[in-house]
Structure 1
Amino acid sequence: MDLKLKGLRAIVTGGTKGIGRAIAQTLIDEGAQLAFCARNASEVAAVAAEFSSTGATVLGCAVDVGDEAALAAFVAQASTAMGGIDIVVANVSALAVGNDEAGWKSGFDVDMMGTVRLVNAAMPSLEKSQHASIITISSVSAREIDFAAGPYGAFKAAVIHYTQGLAFHLAGKKIRANTVSPGNTYFAGGIWDQIEQGNPALFKEALALNPTGRMASPQEVANAVVFLASPAASFITGTNLLVDGALTRGVQL
């Protein structure tokens, strides 16, 4: 299937590792222009060089999405460099599972407001696009009470509500908004790799919950994200797509 992404202009936050990197790479592979950010400047530079080596048009910036001014400056720079923005992927999470005030604050600043501010900053460009698409990354923890109950699950649920509200209110402007909710996703250096090393009992328990007997790969999640972001999904808006290998058991009506 031709996703019709060639030449479209995309922003991805958290683009150097895991799901975010797989999304960024897949967008490039499909012919999109890319601007991405992450907090670590050296990692951003290395990934940008790798992406650019294929001939792709890539802008990488070191940005903390919890910093409103820095995030807005990145979006403005990306829009100028690419001549506009068609696709926004809000991927960054603070991964705050602790139930202390610091966890709640970081979850709000990064997961919630990082998403809202990204969309707000990109909106003037999206309103000019013929293929405007917003994708937010939530989690199965937004649907079910699990070990990540607390700030992580609460703000991931709020992100879904926020995105579906965007879909309704922006439909008349031909701007689509969808959420992808991954299940447990394993990659080297990621949270489940760390849990496997540091808390093997929890890892074994989590693995046993999935009837497929495994966790997702970042690429499997990225495939869903890039499809929803693309013009091939032109009549899909306001949905929350689970990519979880039947991990969740609630019926989504």
Structure 2
Amino acid sequence: MDLQLNGRTALVTGGSRGIGRAVVEALAAEGATVSFCARSADGVRTAEEELRGAGYDVYGSEVDVADGDALAAWVRESAAQRGGIDVVVANVSALAIPSTEENWAASFTTDMLGTVRLVEAALPSLEASDAGAIVTISSVSGREIDFAAGPYGTFKGAIVHYTQGLAYQLAGRVRANTVSPGNVYFPGGVWESIEQNDPDLYGHALGLNPTGRMATPQEVARAVTFLASPAATFISGTNLVVDGALTRGVQL
């Protein structure tokens, strides 16, 4: 299938590692020019060098999405330098799970406002595109009660609601969809850390998935890339769960 992403431009937040980096690579592999950001200058530089070395047209920037002014400036500069924006992928999370006031604030600023600010800054360019698409990254914790039911799960649920509202408000102009991954394992990721430091929680989480494993970032990225592409022309307002049948609730 031709995803019709060749020559398109995309922005990805949190693109230096994990799901974000896999999304950058998947979009670039389809011929898109991808600008990505992350907080770590070293992480951005390493990812950019490795992806460019593989022949991909990517551009990395050090940006903290919790800094609204810096995020908006990055979006504007990327649009000007790349000749517009066709796709935005809001991927960053504070991963703030314990229910403390600091974590509620961090989740609101990073997960929720980071998504809203990215979309609002990019919207003029997306509306000027003939294939404008928004993909937000939520989580299965946003649709069911689990160990992350505090700030993390609450704002992941809010992101789904926000995105479906965008789909309705922008219908016929810009598509908006969400991808909700289950547990995703990658070197240096949260589940590798849990495996090492809390093996009981890791074993419990692994045991809940009937596949007997966790997802790879690439498996999530493929779902994101399809929804971001012009091949998904009439898909908007959906929440695509990528969890290997981990969740058992019926999504109506």
**TMscore range, shorter length:** over 0.9
Matches of 1:89 and 1:57 in 2, distance apart? 17
Matches of 2:208 and 2:185 in 1, distance apart? 15
**1:102 partnered with 2:102:** yes
**1:63 partnered with 2:63:** yes
State the SS of the aligned residue for 1:246: coil
State the SS of the aligned residue for 1:127: helix
Residues 1-253 of structure 1 mapped to structure 2, 5 A cutoff: 1-172=1-172, 174-253=173-252
State the SS of the aligned residue for 1:196: helix
Normalising to structure 2: TM-score of the pair?
0.99
Normalising to structure 1: TM-score of the pair?
0.98
Q: Which amino acid aligns with 2:140?
A: V
Matches of 1:210 and 1:58 in 2, distance apart? 35
Structure 2: gaps of 5 or more residues:
none
Identity in percent = 63
**Range moving further from structure 2, 39-48 or 51-60:** 51-60
Matches of 1:149 and 1:223 in 2, distance apart? 27
Matches of 2:191 and 2:100 in 1, distance apart? 22
Q: Which amino acid aligns with 1:94?
A: A
Matches of 1:52 and 1:190 in 2, distance apart? 23
Q: Which amino acid aligns with 2:231?
A: A
Q: Which amino acid aligns with 1:192?
A: W
- The superposition leaves residues 11-44 of structure 1 with CA deviations (integer Å, 9 ceiling, x where unpaired) of 0000011100000001111000000000001111
Would you say the 8 A contact 2:5–2:229 is kept in 1? yes
Would you say the 8 A contact 2:17–2:47 is kept in 1? no
State the SS of the aligned residue for 1:171: coil
Structure 1: gaps of 5 or more residues:
none
Matches of 1:81 and 1:49 in 2, distance apart? 19
Q: Aligned-pair distance for 1:210?
A: 0.4
Q: Which amino acid aligns with 1:171?
A: A
- The superposition leaves residues 133-191 of structure 1 with CA deviations (integer Å, 9 ceiling, x where unpaired) of 0000000000111110100000000000000000000013x200000000000001100
Q: Aligned-pair distance for 1:57?
A: 2.6
Q: CA RMSD in A?
A: 0.7
Q: Aligned-pair distance for 1:46?
A: 1.6
